[in-house]
Structure 1
Amino acid sequence: MSNVSPTYLTTEALAERIHYDARTIRNRLKDSVLIEGVHYFRPFGGRKILYIWETIERDMRMDRPPLASAIPMASGGICHG
């Protein structure tokens, strides 16, 4: 087990790091590719979203969807169950 704490990023910080527009993350990636409880969470049950960089980086490098139950959709999205 690693003693390194995960890196938490806001939507804007994630956008800068992966060179995507923050709107694209909010409107197209969140809840289709980036899954709540896996890639991001809402601290204290609030509206603010924090992304977990290490999980996102790991899954960006994968050749398959991050979840085994993911079903590819014709539109390019993914159905999660």
Structure 2
Amino acid sequence: MACTFLTTEELASLIKYDARTIRQQLKDSVLIEGTHYIRPFGRRKILYIWETIQEEMLKATPRQQAIAIPMANGGVCHG
């Protein structure tokens, strides 16, 4: 399986988010290490896996979003 690895800045331009928002709010809450991003060679550099992020973004349909209740910690309750 071919994967497209992106830096934080490249991902930000693709999904129209600020790079700082990705680092501070999405990483480790929505984007999970080992699934959505990796740290090659155990270093500080983070590379995001575009295909898994794209799948995750497309999972939520408008119907699901309509009944999602936002929570204080940034998650949602699917009531």
| 1:2-81 matched pairs, under 5 angstroms | 2=1, 5-63=2-60, 74-75=71-72, 77-78=74-75
Q: 1:63 Cα deviation (Å)?
A: 2.2
RMSD of the alignment, in Å?
1.9
Please state whether the residue corresponding to 1:75 is helix, strand or coil: coil
Q: In 2, distance between residues paired with 1:63 and 1:11?
A: 22
CA contact (8 A) 1:40 1:50 kept: yes
Gaps of 5+ in 2: 62-68
Structure 2 length-normalised TM: 0.78
CA contact (8 A) 1:6 1:53 kept: yes
Normalized per residue, the structure richer in helix is 2
Q: 1:76 Cα deviation (Å)?
A: 5.2
Give the percent of matched residue pairs that are identical in Structure 1 and Structure 2.
62
